[in-house]
Amino acid sequence: MTQQFTDHQGRAVVVEEITEDNWRDVADVAPADGQRQFVAALAARYLLLSQRGEVWTSLGVRAGDDIVGHVMWAYDDDHDAHWIGGMVVGAAEQGKGVGRATLGAVIEHLSALSGCRQICLSYHPGNTSAGSLYTSFGFQPTGDLEDDEIVMALLVS
């Protein structure tokens, strides 16, 4: 059964494919200025990465009627793991429960893919908001670093 994810205002939060209708709004998603040390300055960078390579798949994050974020995923066959990356909630939408709902929705999305056994992600050690969010979902450090970021993993049952 599909779970409903909502933010603090009760808006339904879903992750959705990039389409002709939503790509402009997803591309415009921007973190707060001080967060550019952790992520790209605009989600457009991640959309291009998804489009140019065959590794990442971008998804838009919708809360109610509005596009409020971006997240992407990839499959790493070396480690038989699915990865989450490029998670950005627009600066004005942060602190409203969107990030928590997004992570729940993308974990559900990946868990439904056949053969998904482990989900990995990484975060900059200084990005304590992201770190505590991931820990609260049960992600645990693997001990590995990826581009100076702490790698965490969650086993999918």
The site for ligand COA (CB under 6 A) is made up of 31, 35, 38-39, 87-89, 94-100, 123, 127-130, 132-133, 136
Residues 6+ positions from 119 with CB-CB distance below 8 Å:
81, 82, 83, 84, 107, 110, 111, 139, 153, 154, 156
Smallest distance from ligand COA to CB 20, Å? 25
Q: Which residue is nearest to ligand COA (CB)?
A: 99
Nearer Cβ to ligand COA, position 65 or 147?
Answer: 147
Task: In angstroms, give the least distance from the CB of 138 to ligand COA.
Answer: 13
Query: Cα separation of 47 and 17, whole Å?
Result: 11
18 versus 63: smaller Cβ distance to ligand COA: 63
Angle at which helices 98-111 and 128-136 cross, to 10°: 50
- 7 or 114: CB nearest ligand COA: 7
- Minimum CB separation of residue 35 from ligand COA in Å reads 4
Closest CB 111 distance from ligand COA, rounded Å: 19
Sign of CA dihedral 144, 100, 46, 91: negative
- Residues with Cβ < 8 Å from 56, sequence gap 6 or more? 46, 49, 50, 72, 73, 74, 85, 86
Q: Which is nearer to ligand COA, 38 or 75 (CB)?
A: 38
